Structure 1
Amino acid sequence: MSNVVTDTFAWLANPEQWSGSDGIPARLAEHLLYTGLVMLIATAIAVPIGLYVGHTGRGRVAAVAVAGALRALPTLGLLTLFVLLAGIGLMPPIWALVILTVPPLLAGTYAGIASVDRNVVDAARAMGMTELQVLFRAEFPNALPVMFGGFRTGVLQAIATVSVVAYINLGGLGRYLFDGLVLSDFPQMLGGSLLIAGLAITVDLVLALIQRLFLSQGASSQPNRSQQAAVDLTDPVTAGTVVQGGTS
């Protein structure tokens, strides 16, 4: 075991692993490209559905059931199925990974919107806002911390599952896992695993910092502003001014 660990660090420290088209920087760029593409498509699918379900309350059971069913799908099996049906290429495995990434984004979006204080929503409607204004000006800002939590989970899952695209001869850090498996090169496999884990941890720390700096502070102040708006609506002197401001 000690030899494997020593050989792994020797493999990581080898300058040859940090240059060329098969080097770690190139594989890292491919991994991030695949992850970004998966997240872009999955977000475009999951967020609108989650906003609709969370705002209207319609389709809750279906959304929860579908999200649970998608979580149970085996990654490698789904990837193989898409490749068999659509052929070798970039998009078949990407679509397979999108299906696996949608559940945490859908659940986070729906849960975030549904968890917004109903007093905030009622106050927004009392101001004369349309349903779209209620969604994007009242519910969405308050739901962002929960939604971002789902986004972070989706990113981590995408980083982990993108590794399997190397199974069909695409790039990414997963290339080291499959090449090492074929060659029985255990230091390369362990090194690839450490690189993927390090990438996931680094990205999550960056996202956590973004959430702390830009979302936590804003979210903490949102309830106070919403409660103040609700109080203003009960004041006959200020109610007319508030309604006019909300409908302008």
Structure 2
Amino acid sequence: MSEQNDPSSAEAGAEQPSHGLGLLVGLPLICAAILGGWTLWRQTAELDDIESRQLAWGTILDLTREHIVLTLVTTAIVLVTAVPLGILLTRPAFRRLSTPVVGFANAGQAAPVIGIIVLLAMWIGFGFRAAVISLGLYAFLPVLRNTIVGLQQVDPTLVEAARGMGMSGFDVLRRVELPLAIPIIMAGVRTALVLVVGTASFATFINAGGLGALIVTGITLFRNSVLISGALIIAVLALLIDWAGRVFERIATPKGLS
């Protein structure tokens, strides 16, 4: 039976948009419920002096701001390097280099992120810059790989048709290839964002700030309330970042492809 006459195929196609819309609506609600429950606990819990200082609202807001800044700066650097490189490696003159470059990026991501952070900090100094570089190296692969895969999966007949209409190579890339590759590229960007949010917790080991300080304090001082609070806030932040990536993906995807 052909896919055109298969009811199950039609149902699957209809479920895809509704599934995506459900995530767009459901993720913020889930995050709000989690944060609301944690806030209620924080207001009513009996905390000792150490827990009260670590979980003070000013401290939480400062650490969250540091975590978000670290995530956004790292992601911006990854985007302005990985996407252009992925585009370059899909051009005929450089296509043969795509395999070794992706292999090298794979090897970089396979290394433990905490090891990369500490080694870079010992080399270029502790602080924000070392954290951004090390996290950027870790998040580079998903964006690079998805950029290459997304552009490679564009239908060659569409590219040839665009060239036949007299478009230049740049116009074909801008008006045909990139719009069609956007969903796959954005999936890589979302993966990188979530990776950075999670691994940014290690930045506290090199004095780069972030919510990882709560986890370290909780482990060091045997304060489970501080430890769990830090892990919970980081998890919610990762969900919100993923949600923001889905919203941007939906906006950036050309109509008819979403």
TM range (shorter): 0.7 to 0.9
Name the aligned partner's letter for residue 127 of structure 1.
Answer: M
Q: How does 1:48-59 map to 2 (within 5 A)?
A: 48-56=84-92, 57-59=95-97
CA deviation profile, 1:16-52 (whole Å, cap 9, x unmatched) = 63532xx212211111100011001111111111011
2:79 match: 43
1:190 match: 228
Of 92, 98, 101, 2:139 maps to 101
- Structure 1 residues 87 and 162: CA distance shift in structure 2, 3 A: same
Name the aligned partner's letter for residue 28 of structure 1.
Answer: T
- Structure 1 residues 187 and 67: CA distance shift in structure 2, 3 A: same
Of 141, 147, 156, 2:194 maps to 156
CA deviation profile, 1:68-111 (whole Å, cap 9, x unmatched) = 11220110101110011111221012111110010001011111
Of 160, 164, 172, 1:134 maps to 172
- Structure 1 residues 12 and 45: CA distance shift in structure 2, 3 A: farther
Q: Is the 8 A contact 1:55 1:135 kept in 2?
A: no
Name the aligned partner's letter for residue 29 of structure 1.
Answer: R
The alpha carbon displacement at 1:216 in A equals 6.2
Q: Is the 8 A contact 2:131 2:208 kept in 1?
A: no
CA distance in structure 1 between the aligned counterparts of 2:145 and 2:120, rounded to whole angstroms? 24
- Structure 1 residues 200 and 214: CA distance shift in structure 2, 3 A: same
CA distance in structure 2 between the aligned counterparts of 1:26 and 1:218, rounded to whole angstroms? 42
- Structure 1 residues 139 and 166: CA distance shift in structure 2, 3 A: same
Name the aligned partner's letter for residue 183 of structure 1.
Answer: L
CA distance in structure 2 between the aligned counterparts of 1:50 and 1:141, rounded to whole angstroms? 15
**CA RMSD for the aligned pairs?**
2.3
1:86 match: 124
Whether 1:77 aligns to 2:115 is yes
Name the aligned partner's letter for residue 46 of structure 1.
Answer: A
2:68 match: 32
Q: Is the 8 A contact 1:31 1:172 kept in 2?
A: yes
Max Rg structure: 1
Q: Is the 8 A contact 1:113 1:140 kept in 2?
A: yes
Q: Is the 8 A contact 1:108 1:146 kept in 2?
A: yes
Structure 2: segments with no counterpart, 5+ residues: 1-36, 46-51
- Structure 1 residues 214 and 46: CA distance shift in structure 2, 3 A: closer
Whether 1:215 aligns to 2:253 is yes
CA distance in structure 2 between the aligned counterparts of 1:102 and 1:211, rounded to whole angstroms? 19
Q: Is the 8 A contact 1:113 1:139 kept in 2?
A: yes
CA distance in structure 2 between the aligned counterparts of 1:137 and 1:216, rounded to whole angstroms? 11
1:229 match: none
CA distance in structure 1 between the aligned counterparts of 2:186 and 2:66, rounded to whole angstroms? 24
- Structure 1 residues 12 and 150: CA distance shift in structure 2, 3 A: farther
CA distance in structure 1 between the aligned counterparts of 2:41 and 2:213, rounded to whole angstroms? 18
The alpha carbon displacement at 1:156 in A equals 0.5
- Structure 1 residues 125 and 174: CA distance shift in structure 2, 3 A: same
- Report the identity percentage: 31
Aligned residues: 213
2:206 match: 168
The alpha carbon displacement at 1:11 in A equals 4.6
- Structure 1 residues 133 and 36: CA distance shift in structure 2, 3 A: same
**What TM-score results when the alignment is normalised by the length of structure 2?**
0.76
